[in-house]
């Protein structure tokens, strides 16, 4: 009997996964440990490993499909072995019919200025089905993915015949129209723009489907901002000693390939400050406050669909150089969407640094279940008072967002004071 591979739970908050692409095709030989497909979860894109050896007998879902946990993905067995015909086959999310006994038209939405109506959905008389009806005033029924593809190819969706449920235009219809050349080019902007010299829109209006990652980010940030009582503390530190030490170390260790970043110092100092002020290294659990015994410091990495927070575990026990090496490796895997769940879960404190993008200061939203997050701004050259003189200094703004259920103002202030002491005396971070 064939082995059925189901959609696994690849992250703690995952409810569905998107099958990005198959790495094997039907009929291919498969060994235990081979990678079958790439799956996008709510956190990252991961490879699906086979725990069985044999032949890939059947693929039940197409690339681009959104699949719930536990749904069948494929079958592996002996060559020629029969696969049950009842095994579910999911359609891509832009082609899936609406649930229920019959397709239900979607709620009206504003149509593009170039849109002309498509015929009302529903069965047509048998004798009238062969010739495609001419467009009549109404709304073009088109999936978000198909609309995006049509805009990219410059095709007017109103000239495409839909093959989806209720005459809906799907991705395959746009590709077929582009290949045949039968579709009319889409108009950009309103009539008369060219004559008057007025420019058209920045881009075509479109409705983009939300990815798993963007969807879960939106959900968690809404929960964090509405359920966690945030308060904010801000300090400005003298970044000159840190920048000087960084330059000296990078120059001295250049031949060894060492290149420390400002963020490496921030991560190390954040972990050490958590050891000095451990109340910040806690989580609210309703009836109790969990005090963490280790500083697992995460840091925000921007990816195509939003951001993810890789975790440097036991950062308080690691050297500055170890943290630097680990952060670079985790950051690269994050951008490639190759992080494993163990690499982006379990953090107890988070650092978000927008300094490299020129942002001087900002307030970050807490990443639950953490009780705080540190926002790091860029280094700014500005006049400062040293002694009785005004000189040019290098200043950096740090903003702590804290959960007031766990962290009080005095505790947050003590944490920032410890952090400033470490960053203004960066040699302490080398001990």
Residues known to be catalytic? 404
Convert 348-411 into a string of H (helix), E (strand) and C (coil): CEEEEECHHHCCCCCCCCCCCCCCEEEEEEEEEEEEEEECCEEEEEEEEEEEEEEECCCCCHHH
- Residue 413's contacts (CB-CB under 8 Å, 6 or more residues apart) are 233
Which residues, including other chains, have CB under 8 Å from residue 419's CB and lie 6 or more apart?
Answer: 237, 269, 270, 273, 374, 398
Quickly count: other Cβ atoms within 10 Å of residue 51's Cβ. 10
List beta partners, residue 363: none
Instruction: Count CB neighbours of 273 within 10 A.
Output: 26
| Contact yes or no for 3/54 (Cβ under 8 A) | yes
Q: Cα separation of 32 and 67, whole Å?
A: 23
* CA separation for the pair 427, 242 (Å, rounded): 8
């Amino acid at each position: 009997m064939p082995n059925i591979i189901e959609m696994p739970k690849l992250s703690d908050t995952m409810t569905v996964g998107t099958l990005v692409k198959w790495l094997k095709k039907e009929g291919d030989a498969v060994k235990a440990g081979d990678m079958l497909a790439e799956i996008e979860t709510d956190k990252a894109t991961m490879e699906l490993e086979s725990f069985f050896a044999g032949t890939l007998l059947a693929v039940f879902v197409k690339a681009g499909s959104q699949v719930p946990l536990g749904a069948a993905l494929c079958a592996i067995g002996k060559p020629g072995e029969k696969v049950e015909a009842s095994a579910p086959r999911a359609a891509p999310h832009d082609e899936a019919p609406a649930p229920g006994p019959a397709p239900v038209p979607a709620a009206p939405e504003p149509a593009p200025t170039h849109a002309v109506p498509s015929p009302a959905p529903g069965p047509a008389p048998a004798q009238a089905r062969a010739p495609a009806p001419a467009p009549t005033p109404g709304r073009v029924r088109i999936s978000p993915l198909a609309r995006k593809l049509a805009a990219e190819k410059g095709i007017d969706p109103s000239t495409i015949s839909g093959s989806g449920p209720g005459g809906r235009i799907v991705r395959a219809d746009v590709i077929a129209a582009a290949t045949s050349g039968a579709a009319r080019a889409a108009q950009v902007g309103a009539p008369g723009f060219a004559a008057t010299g007025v420019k058209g829109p920045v881009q075509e209006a479109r409705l983009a489907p939300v990815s798993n990652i963007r969807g879960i980010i939106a959900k968690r940030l809404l929960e964090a901002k509405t359920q966690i009582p945030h308060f904010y503390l801000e300090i400005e530190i003298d970044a000159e000693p840190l920048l000087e030490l960084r330059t000296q170390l990078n120059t001295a260790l250049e031949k060894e390939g060492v290149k420390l970043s400002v963020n490496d110092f921030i991560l190390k100092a954040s972990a050490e400050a958590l050891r000095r002020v451990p109340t910040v290294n806690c989580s609210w659990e309703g009836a109790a406050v969990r005090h963490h015994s280790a500083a697992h410091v995460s840091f925000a990495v921007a990816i195509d669909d939003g951001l993810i927070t890789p975790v440097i575990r036991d950062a308080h026990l690691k050297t500055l150089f170890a943290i630097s090496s680990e952060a670079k490796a985790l950051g690269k895997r994050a951008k490639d969407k190759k992080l494993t769940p163990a690499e982006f879960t379990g953090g107890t404190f988070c650092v978000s640094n927008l300094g490299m993008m020129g942002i001087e200061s900002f307030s970050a939203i807490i990443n639950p279940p953490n009780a705080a997050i540190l926002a790091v701004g860029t280094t700014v050259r500005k006049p400062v008072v040293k002694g009785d003189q005004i000189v040019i200094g290098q200043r950096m703004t740090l903003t702590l967002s804290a959960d007031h259920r766990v962290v009080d103002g005095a505790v947050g202030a003590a944490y920032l004071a410890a952090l400033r002491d470490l960053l203004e005396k960066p040699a302490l971070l080398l001990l």
